[in-house]
Amino acid sequence: MSIQITMPALSPTMEEGNLAKWHVKAGDKIEPGQVIAEIETDKATMEVEAVDEGVITEILVPEGAQGVKVNTPIAVLMGEAGASAAPPTSGAGVAAAQQSEEASPPQGRAAASRASVHGANAGVVREVGQRFFASPLARRLAQQGGIDLSGLNGSGPHGRIVKRDIEAVLKSPRPVVQEESRALTRSAPHAEQRTPAPYKTLEQHGIRAGSYDIVPLDMMRKTIAKRMTESFRDVPHFPLTIDIEIDGLLKARADINKRFAEQGVKVSVNDMCIKAAALALKMVPESNASYTPDGIAMHHHADIAVAVTIPGGLITPIIFAAETKGLAQISHEMADLAERARTKKLKPEEFQGGTFSISNMGMMGIKSFASIINEPHGMIMSIGAGEKRPIVKNDALAIATIMSVTVTCDHRVVDGALGAAFLKAFKGFLEDPMAMLL
């Protein structure tokens, strides 16, 4: 039985990837658990393992291929004679069956070879698998009918969702709320199709041909460009800026590092900002939220995503439940995440999600800036450099170390008063570091 192995979806948002390396070649026999390829996304490089055995008869996509769309056939596997395998879950990187479900009865349909992602979060893979554990026709009918596949139990082999399952849902009475929601979605202004402005070449802008070189966009730059454009265009955002005196913070940091140096503790200002932001989010819980079409999501924990610069762009590893962790633990986790981020060794669950973002450019000498919101976060914090500035204290001029902090807020979730309340709480923790110990 000939089976196509397809480009896996290594995360719910992945649309394409680079085939970084093949570990097999045509003619090789593979066994379950064997690593057959390495796939590079915009954030990480991950191994793909075989689940079924057989012989690779053809490599369809060469090693080093860029921008391979999810579900594109990348190799052909000849399964063991008479063997049957589980049906494909295209979102988890499994092979697609060749026969149409209408062309043969369920018991006679060809089964497919699956692949698993080595090192990826099992929960993420299961979620993706459940969402796409359906035939192509069923997925198309579900999309046309506005049906959420994640809530269906399939009647096909191994629980696969097939055409008759979708038809049964379409024939059954639909909840009024769901119909109203679909109607609102269709009528909402943001649901209208937008026609992108036609692209103009540099020559059309007046730049002479031959006066520049083009550096091709890699996966990371493409993703950053797409997501930041969508966020800046679609999210009604506004900035709030506050100045914070951090002399007490700097002294507390120095004392902590001196006292616990033998234990290998080295806390940074950024670590203390992470802790302060997490506590401020818990003190002002309405600010730890995300906008959804169904309502405002109020998060249970302060999961802080921290921007880390890596070659070609940036990534935001997450300190989960930061409000529950001490400064030493936050410092250790952040150092480990940053190191693995730079070598593209992070797992998807370590950089996808979060409830709040921090971008710190103080070490680069940037005094003040405003970041673009990282959806679905309700806010993103931009931290500038601490510097000596003249201030008025007790009606007299004085010198203090001041740090400017800006939060960009999603006005659908965090309005001006709420953003100001968060910043007030954040400032209180930084200007009185002992409060973070309570």
- Based on the structure, what is the number of domains in the chain? 2
Is the same domain home to 234 and 341? yes
pLDDT at 438: 74
CA–CA–CA angle 289, 236, 185 (5° rounding): 80
Is the same domain home to 107 and 239? no
Give the residue among 255, 282, 278 at the shortest CA–CA distance from 434: 255
Q: Quick one: what percent of the chain has pLDDT higher than 90?
A: 49
For residues 229-252, average pLDDT: 96
Residue 438 CB partners (closer than 8 Å, separation 6+): none
Is the same domain home to 126 and 261? no
Q: Is 314 a member of any domain?
A: yes
Q: Read off the pLDDT of residues 283-322 as tens digits, 9 standing for 90 and up.
A: 999 999 999 999 999 999 999 999 999 887 889 999 999 9
pLDDT at 12: 66
Is the same domain home to 226 and 121? no
For residues 115-138, average pLDDT: 43
Q: 83, 117, 133 — which closes off a domain?
A: 133
Q: Using pLDDT thresholds of 50, 70 and 90, give the confidence band for residue 168.
A: confident
Assess contact for 69 and 15: CB atoms under 8 A. yes
Q: Is 214 a member of any domain?
A: no
Q: Is 145 a member of any domain?
A: no
Q: Read off the pLDDT of residues 51-108 as tens digits, 9 standing for 90 and up.
A: 678 899 999 999 988 889 988 999 988 876 534 433 333 333 333 333 433 333 333 3
**Angstrom distance (rounded) from CA 218 to CA 147:** 34
Q: 107, 133, 159 — which closes off a domain?
A: 133
pLDDT at 144: 66
Is the same domain home to 228 and 356? yes
Q: Read off the pLDDT of residues 386-396 as tens digits, 9 standing for 90 and up.
A: 999 999 988 99
Count Cβ atoms below 10 Å from residue 309 Cβ, excluding itself: 14
pLDDT at 349: 87
pLDDT at 157: 58
Q: Is 138 a member of any domain?
A: no
- Which of the given ranges, 130-134, 145-149, 368-372, 434-438, has the highest pLDDT on average? 368-372
**Domain that includes residue 340, residue range:** 220-437
Is the pLDDT at 5 greater than 60, yes or no? yes
pLDDT at 6: 87
Residue tagged 């049964």 (tokens): 168
| CATH number of residue 62's parent domain | 2.40.50.100
Strand order in the sheet with 2-6: 2-6, 73-79, 54-59, 29-30
Q: Read off the pLDDT of residues 202-236 as tens digits, 9 standing for 90 and up.
A: 988 899 999 999 988 877 888 888 889 999 999 99
| CATH number of residue 306's parent domain | 3.30.559.10
Is the same domain home to 340 and 227? yes
Is the same domain home to 301 and 415? yes
For residues 34-56, average pLDDT: 83
Q: Is 238 a member of any domain?
A: yes
Q: 117, 133, 149 — which closes off a domain?
A: 133
pLDDT at 127: 32
Is the same domain home to 248 and 127? no
Q: Is 39 a member of any domain?
A: yes
Average pLDDT over the chain reads 81
Is the same domain home to 10 and 115? yes
Query: Which three-class secondary structure string do you get for 285-342?
Result: HHHCEEEECCEEEECCCCCEEECEEECCEEECCEECCHHHCCHHHHHHHHHHHHHHHH
In the annotation, is 411 catalytic?
yes
Is the same domain home to 225 and 80? no
Is the same domain home to 30 and 127? yes
Q: Read off the pLDDT of residues 13-38 as tens digits, 9 standing for 90 and up.
A: 778 888 989 999 999 998 877 889 98
Q: Is 310 a member of any domain?
A: yes
pLDDT at 32: 78
Q: Is 386 a member of any domain?
A: yes
Is the same domain home to 238 and 382? yes
